[in-house]
Amino acid sequence: MAKQHKILLLDDDEQMLELYQELLRQLPSQPEVHVSNSGARAIALLESEPFTLLITDLRMPKMDGLQVLAIVRRKYPHLRIIVLTAVLDEEYRSRAYAEGVDLFWQKPGSTEEFQQFKDCIESLLDREVRGEGGFRGMQSKGLVDLIQLECLSQSSSVLHITQGGVSGKIWVQNGAVIDAATAAFKGEEAFKEILSWKAGNFEILPAEPERPRAIHHSYQGLLLDSAQALDEWRGQHGAEAPTPDQEGTPPASNSVLAPLARFEGVEFLLTMPVDEQAACESWGLENAAQIAAWARATHQRLLQLGDRIGAAPLAQVSGFGLQRHWALAWDGQKGLLCAGFQRALPKEKVDPTMKHIFAKWLS
């Protein structure tokens, strides 16, 4: 059965909402169209169920479209976003594209424009059905294509790639990949990690010629190695296993946390929903219930302590032991994430790795 797409339409004008809702329902793919007349409600809807596409106006009272975009792009990196506005302002357009929107569309004014708009939406939804990811930047390209393009043209640049709350950089100098970095990795490992991201945003920054070379393989070799590493990973986790970033598709493993466990040094993972009565998810843990009780209690203790000493919100807690390390992070909507790390993982890598895992978990 074909997946029914869900579109969220955000505009403060109720009449426009009704008009576009009707219009979009007539699309051949017959999407489910939800509407919201405020940014806050739109975000609440996005939190409650997965949407394929957000179509948003820009000028709205209280929370305007750009504010919504900033929040939504970070929390839902896979969500397709179209700005539909009557504002014909180049600054708005560039700011919207900088936030990673897929399209910036002027509100149609004629039958032809309405038809073009509908065709465009249908094409975008069709692209989702075919599972084409693509990095949103100045143009929609695959990351491998982009790297090949930069290298073949003997360019010197820095590719800045973001995916949800995480980001990475690839340094290209005279057509050679000389270095890469993410929060958790450097050099070839970082390059492989970035290549494993299926979708996100990119921007091309000015070259940094003074950057020391840390990668000495050819870009072709690197791309091959990365593809091989991904294939191996998929082989270990089932042929149909998606990349960790593929949203909405359950991994082949029994645990939904398995994709997060591929990060370097992860020994176990445990998620605890905000609702303490709801079931916890765990990966690699035998005594999940005990650890969950301890993690909740520890988090609670430190929260209360933070309030008492006026230290503002608790961001992250890490522990280092002879047998293993661990870290805790909290999100108001999703709950508590506890990760255990092998003791071989250097202490300084625990925090950035946890941040990565947490960002992926949230996204």
Partner 1 sequence: MAFLNKKKSGPQRLPNGAFTVDAQGRVVSSTVPQAVPPAVVRDIGQQVVAIFEEARRVQLPFSEMIAQYAAFKITARAMRGGAIIFLSPKAPQLAPPT
| Residues that bind partner 1 in the complex, under the rule CB under 8 A | 287, 290-291, 293-294, 297-298, 301-302, 304-326, 340, 351
CA dist 75 and 78 (Å) reads 9
Are 242 and 251 within 8 A, CB to CB? yes
Smallest separation, CB 201 to partner 1 (Å): 22
User: Would you say 174 or 290 has its CB closer to partner 1?
Assistant: 290
Looking only at the bridges linking them, the beta strands covering 6-10 and 32-36 are: parallel
User: Would you say 34 or 356 has its CB closer to partner 1?
Assistant: 356
Smallest separation, CB 293 to partner 1 (Å): 8
Smallest separation, CB 337 to partner 1 (Å): 15
Write the CA distances from 33 to 6, 53, 93, 256, integer angstroms. Answer: 6, 10, 25, 28
Long-range contacts of 310-315 (CB under 8 A, 24+ apart): none
CA dist 330 and 153 (Å) reads 44
Cβ burial, residue 338 (10 Å; 0-12/13-18/19+): buried
DSSP 260: G
User: Would you say 171 or 283 has its CB closer to partner 1?
Assistant: 283
14: enclosing H helix or E strand: helix 14-25
Smallest separation, CB 306 to partner 1 (Å): 5
Sign of the alpha-carbon torsion through 345, 350, 352, 358: positive
- Reading the block at residue 117, the tokens are 């708009």
Smallest separation, CB 270 to partner 1 (Å): 11
Smallest separation, CB 121 to partner 1 (Å): 37
Name 204's Cβ contacts closer than 8 Å, sequence gap at least 6: 137, 138, 150, 157, 158, 159, 160
User: Would you say 208 or 351 has its CB closer to partner 1?
Assistant: 351
User: Would you say 144 or 289 has its CB closer to partner 1?
Assistant: 289
User: Would you say 124 or 329 has its CB closer to partner 1?
Assistant: 329
User: Would you say 235 or 320 has its CB closer to partner 1?
Assistant: 320
Smallest separation, CB 15 to partner 1 (Å): 36
User: Would you say 153 or 300 has its CB closer to partner 1?
Assistant: 300
Smallest separation, CB 231 to partner 1 (Å): 35
Write the CA distances from 200 to 6, 7, 67, 73, 357, integer angstroms. Answer: 20, 20, 19, 9, 16
Other beta carbons within 10 angstroms of residue 166's beta carbon come to 24
Tell me which residue of 151, 157, 196, 202 sits closest to 175, measured CA to CA: 151
